[in-house]
Structure formats: structure tokens, C-alpha cells
Chains A and B, each alone.
Chain A
Amino acid sequence: MAVNFIQAFMGGALIGLGAIVLMLLNGRVAGISGIINGAFSQFSKQNFWRWSFLAGLVAAPFLTSPFGYNLPTSLPINGITLVVAGLIVGIGTQLGSGCTSGHGICGIGRLSKRSIVATMVFMLSAFVTVAITQHML
């Protein structure tokens, strides 16, 4: 159990490192929902960094699998739920200007009041959703 905590902490530190380097070098918030939205909203030269950032995210598992860190091979959720959840995540992250990375790491890391509030709200909302879907339905 303690090993898992250390792995989670170290993995989190890598996420924080990638995010702070993007701010230090490129001056950009590593908000993944925002980067996805920006990448798909227009195809221009100014957007290349977004595509290459996303390519890095997608390619990462190829570097970890030789070390025994693999992606899950099955998902605990059915296809219809995935489509509905994806749609809701898309809408929510655009209305709320961010997701776990943008608000939870970068925003809180800058001590932004908006991000602190947003993170508390989406955590609470996710806890309630899981309580309903796993224990009441």
C-alpha cells in the first residue's frame, strides 16, 4: 500500500514537472481540456505546439511499458456510458474553463481562487455522482 502511495506521489510530481516546464518555457497553462479544444478549434501554425503536446501525451505509454507500467486493457464502463460521459466532460470543461490538470494542478499551483473553487466543485460533484451510480442505481 505504501508503495502505491509513493508511486502515485512520484507520478503526480512528473505531471507537475511537465506542467511547470510548459509554463516556464512556453508561458502556457498545461490545461489539457483547453489544449485539446484549442488544437481542434483552428488549424494554424500557432497551434502546432498543442498538437505536439497531445502527441506526447498519447505516446507516453510506449515509453512506460518496457518498465512494466501499462495502460488498462479493459474499461469498467460500457460504450453508451462512455459516450454520454465524454459529451458531459466536453461540455463541462468548456463551460468551467478547465479540468483536473488546468484547475487542479496549474490553477491551484498559482493559488487562483477560481481554480480552487472549480476543483472543489468538480471533486464534490464526482464524489456524489459515484455515490449515486455505484450505490443507488
Chain B
Amino acid sequence: MKLVLSALLCGLLIGLGLVTSGMADPAKVLGFLDLLGQWDPTLAFVMGGGLCVYLPLYHLIVKPRQAPVLALSFQLPSKTKTEKRLIMGAATFGIGWGMSGICPGPAMTNLSGGQTGIFLFVIAMLVGMILTNKVSDLVTNK
């Protein structure tokens, strides 16, 4: 139960950050990604602000701990190599992000605005995720 409540709090905090920073506005994101047009560098400060909090607190408070406060262990990604799949995936994600100005967090936060286009985006994103997992299961189980 505690894990569920703390996750709710974290989702809220991140959602508040997405709305107040401008990240939840696809037009603003496209302005940031448009280097050749009237480039709007504002959103670079979102990542800057996020890292100014996450990076020092991770290394000073989280890393020295054996376990998280409410769970038995930290669940960190086990992969360390930068394989072809990672590069291809990141490049693919960048294309979709550049086409729409929407990445997964802002897509979720915009759902409460009730716009049809966002629902289309999220449903298509879920289909893309499920298909990718099915295909990658087939490939690895061969």
C-alpha cells in the first residue's frame, strides 16, 4: 500500500513538473527541437533542472543505501553495453518525438485534457509497445 501511495505522489510531482515547465505543450517541444527555425531553447532548462536534482541526490543519498526505504531492493537496469538495439530504438523514438512533439510522459498528462488526438497517440503507442515485445519474444525464443 505504501508503495502505491508513494508512486502516486511521484507521478503527481512529475506531472506537475511537466505542465509547469512547458514540456506538456507539444507546440513548445517542437519549437525546442526546431534548430533551423526560430529555435526556442527554454526546454533545455527542464532537463537541466531535472538533472540538478536527480544527479546529486542519487549519488549522495540513494547510492550509499543498501535498499530503498519502502522496498527490499533497488531495481536498476542490468544491461551495461550500448548495443545496436539501444541505438536503433533511441533513433526510432526520436523520429516519433520529432514528428509529434510528444513523448510518453506528456502523452499521459495530456490525457486529462480530453483531446481526441492524444487518445489516438496513446493507443497507437501502446500498440507499438505490445507489437515490439511480441516480435522481440519471438526472435529471442527461436
Contact = CB atoms under 8 A, between A and B. Distances in A.
Contact of B82 (A5, A89, A117): A117
A79 B120 contact: yes
A89 B101 CA distance: 11
A44 interface: no
Q: Which size class do B's interface residues fall under?
A: 35 or more
Interface string B84-107: 011111111111111111111101
A96 B86 contact: yes
Given A20-B62, A26-B7, A95-B92, 4 more contacts: A12-B45, A27-B73, A99-B105, A125-B98
Q: Is the interface of B mostly helix, strand, loop or mixed?
A: helix
6 closest A-B pairs by beta carbon, nearest first, are A90-B128, A11-B21, A56-B11, A60-B15, A96-B89, A12-B49
Interface string B1-27: 011111111111111111111111111
Contacts, number: 484
Interface of A: 4-5, 7-30, 32-33, 36-37, 40-41, 48-50, 52-64, 69-79, 81-97, 99-101, 103-114, 117-119, 121-131, 133-135
Interface in B52-89: 52-55, 57-58, 61-62, 65, 67-77, 79-82, 85-89
Contact of A77 (B3, B14, B26, B90): B26
Contact of A90 (B50, B69, B124): B124
Given A20-B57, A88-B99, A93-B93, A8 B129 contact: no
A8 B124 contact: no
Contacts of A108: 51, 55
Given A57-B15, A89-B96, A12 B80 contact: no
Contact of A93 (B27, B51, B129): B129
A20 B53 contact: yes
Contacts of B24: 61, 71-72
Contacts of A110: 58, 76
A92 B90 contact: yes
Contact of A14 (B14, B30, B111): B14
A104 B128 CA distance: 21
Contacts of B141: none
A88 B92 contact: yes
19 contacts: A8-B42, A8-B46, A25-B6, A36-B125, A75-B118, A81-B100, A82-B117, A87-B124, A89-B93, A89-B96, A91-B89, A96-B91, A104-B47, A109-B50, A117-B87, A125-B95, A130-B30, A131-B35, A133-B99
Contact of A97 (B4, B79, B110, B123): B79
